[in-house]
Structure 1
Amino acid sequence: MIAKLCWQLILSKGVIRDIERLCMRFFWKGSDTSARGARVSWSQVCSLRYEGGLGLRNLVVWSRACCLLLVKNILAGEGSLWITWVNEYCFRSVDYWNIECNAHFSWILSKLLKLREEARRLFYPNVNWIQIKGSWIWENIRDRREKVSWHRLVWFPAHIPKFSLISCMVILDRLPTKDRLARFGMSTDNVCEVWGIRMKSRNHLLSDCAYAREV
């Protein structure tokens, strides 16, 4: 799948940033309005579920993985007519590691040459090209977070996405409860509507409140 998307996702950082901004707005607001006040950072949303995220793809890292897959194809001499053309007419007697970036090189090729240090870490000196797939590259360059113990309680088979998302927000303490709204200066009444005492927090809402315990 990643190989088929290589050309489509080699985009400038500005374009990727605009796409992610639109994705963020749609995810949190459901429309093209500002996502200010999002409950969880977009970087955490784009982490894997067993790392406390929602499993969405980080487009910046995904685009870099696509670029590195093209680098792999150049080094292995396989993939497309464009790869053959680059090796024959751009590199000629100099390989990818030693070629100087010339002004007449295309934007894509110049971008690939800027990834030489990262490519060297992944592909140099001895690699089995058959084993190097897009998923392998992705796993080796993506940002990692500490694994969480609760992801199977939330993202179990046949889960309902809406309920799982709410459960995830509960565990991360990102519900818009009154204590959090008060912290951001958005609420003046920070007491429980049922008893009129104590700040309404996540723990109070779900377990500490006597009414919640009865329910």
Structure 2
Amino acid sequence: MNVLKSNIFIAGINVRDTGQILSLSHLSRGSMPFRYLGIPLVAERLKVAHFEELTKKIRTYIDGWSALTLSYAGRAELIRSVLQGVECYWLSIFPLPDAVCTKIVKLCRNFLWGTSSKKIAWSSICLPKSEGGLGFRDLRAWNNSLLAKTLWNIHAKKDTLWHKWIQHVYLRNRPLLDCHKIKGRNQTYEFFRPAGTEISWHNVVWAAGITPKHAFSLWIVARSRLQTKDRIRHIEIEDSCSFCARQQETAIHLFFSCPFSATIWAEIRAWIGIKRKMSTLSSGLKWLKKEAKGTSRQSKVKCIAFATTVYHIWNARNRLIFEDEVPNPNYVIHHIKTHVYKVMFSLYPSVLIDLENLAIGDS
């Protein structure tokens, strides 16, 4: 024991005995609260203020990233891999107060959407991808599932001194809830988390090979949460289509009915072999789910091209509005085809792909 780095904490002992203990141990008397391995330890129930270190750490990460140009997909990945990793250590030790959970969710939500309106509720985002979410961890459910490990330890580690103390002080030899049917944190999390309704298009939207930012845009469109002009009526702007200015800008018109988009889709449909004309995104996703099954190269091409087309049409619309850049359909088509070709070449470098006819054969 390093005397210079150690303290002794005393409770319920009279002054004379305390003095003798300190004299014999040569340790300084410590006082609460203090931190051990970054975690606050107190002699009472933790308050919201004690979790400031956690929220401060998350805020520091976010402030460091906010200056960077990140897509929605990039921000989502950082939340999933880093921010929820920071939380995990604390969640496995303490039950977080509701106020702390709310603060963390607000930080992550604002980081994901920025200053724009919150397109999709956080509770929906925390659903698995198969239920229409992004697969983030629900903070309260994840906290409960991590803390449930303590119940498992009580159930399994019956020979330890710690278990005997728990039995004597808290359980007093009463039976513990039978938890042997739940094995592992993932199964425990599934038990605690709110359940959603499984959707049919998740395998198409999140198909392997699709560029993450394209998949994210397609996910927002599939959730009917894209901020087209008909959805932002609280802002006093002309709500006609950004491309043709003939009809109100809705998602259906913007992506399928508008002459600009129709020209692009006609070329891409012929290119990837879609004979049926699509009138809505749901019909397109339904067709894609049926025709792009399996892991063949043809299936991947169709999924990648579909998501890339949706992304580039939306990107052309935004460039027109915010940068006054008049779009050229042939230029957009060229970008879509080039991107699909690059992705396919990265996936199958030994396969010859004819970009003009999309004929695929072994080289």
Instruction: Give the alignment's TM-score, normalised by structure 1.
Output: 0.72
Counterpart position of 1:128:
180
Residue in structure 1 matching 2:212, options 161, 170, 182: 161
Q: Is 1:62 the counterpart of 2:142 in the alignment?
A: yes
Displacement of 1:90: 3.4
Which piece of structure 1 moves more, 4-13 or 58-67?
4-13
Instruction: Give the alignment's TM-score, normalised by structure 2.
Output: 0.44
- 1:46–1:54 contact (8 Å) kept in structure 2: yes
Counterpart position of 1:43:
123
CA–CA separation in structure 2 for the residues paired with 1:169 and 1:161: 12
CA–CA separation in structure 2 for the residues paired with 1:146 and 1:138: 17
Q: Is 1:147 the counterpart of 2:188 in the alignment?
A: no
Q: 1:213 to 1:18 in 2, by over 3 A?
A: same
Counterpart position of 1:24:
109
Q: Secondary structure at the match of 2:207?
A: coil
- Residues 62-81 of structure 1 mapped to structure 2, 5 A cutoff: 62-77=142-157
- 1:46–1:57 contact (8 Å) kept in structure 2: yes
Counterpart position of 1:213:
262
Counterpart position of 2:239:
190
Q: 1:41 to 1:15 in 2, by over 3 A?
A: same
- 2:220–2:226 contact (8 Å) kept in structure 1: yes
- Deviations along 1:116-173, whole A, 9 cap, x unmatched? xxxx5xx3xxx536x5222221112211111111111111223322111110011111
Q: Secondary structure at the match of 1:60?
A: helix
Counterpart position of 2:28:
none
Counterpart position of 1:100:
none
- Residues 80-119 of structure 1 mapped to structure 2, 5 A cutoff: 82-91=162-171, 93-95=172-174
- 1:73–1:79 contact (8 Å) kept in structure 2: no
Q: Mark the runs of 5 or more structure 2 residues left unpaired by the alignment.
A: 1-84, 265-363
- 1:178–1:200 contact (8 Å) kept in structure 2: yes
Counterpart position of 1:202:
251
Counterpart position of 2:96:
11
Q: Which amino acid aligns with 1:51?
A: E
CA–CA separation in structure 2 for the residues paired with 1:79 and 1:23: 42
Displacement of 1:8: 4.1
- 1:10–1:66 contact (8 Å) kept in structure 2: no
CA–CA separation in structure 2 for the residues paired with 1:62 and 1:79: 28
Q: 1:74 to 1:203 in 2, by over 3 A?
A: same
CA–CA separation in structure 2 for the residues paired with 1:163 and 1:7: 35
Which protein shows a greater Rg? 2
* Higher strand content, 1 or 2: 2
CA–CA separation in structure 2 for the residues paired with 1:96 and 1:15: 33
CA–CA separation in structure 1 for the residues paired with 2:250 and 2:190: 37
- Deviations along 1:20-48, whole A, 9 cap, x unmatched? 1111111111xxxxx67200000010000
Q: Secondary structure at the match of 1:144?
A: coil
Count of aligned positions: 178
CA–CA separation in structure 2 for the residues paired with 1:42 and 1:191: 30
Q: Secondary structure at the match of 2:216?
A: helix
Displacement of 1:76: 3.2
CA–CA separation in structure 2 for the residues paired with 1:200 and 1:22: 32
Displacement of 1:52: 0.4
- 1:16–1:59 contact (8 Å) kept in structure 2: yes
Counterpart position of 1:105:
none
Displacement of 1:88: 3.7
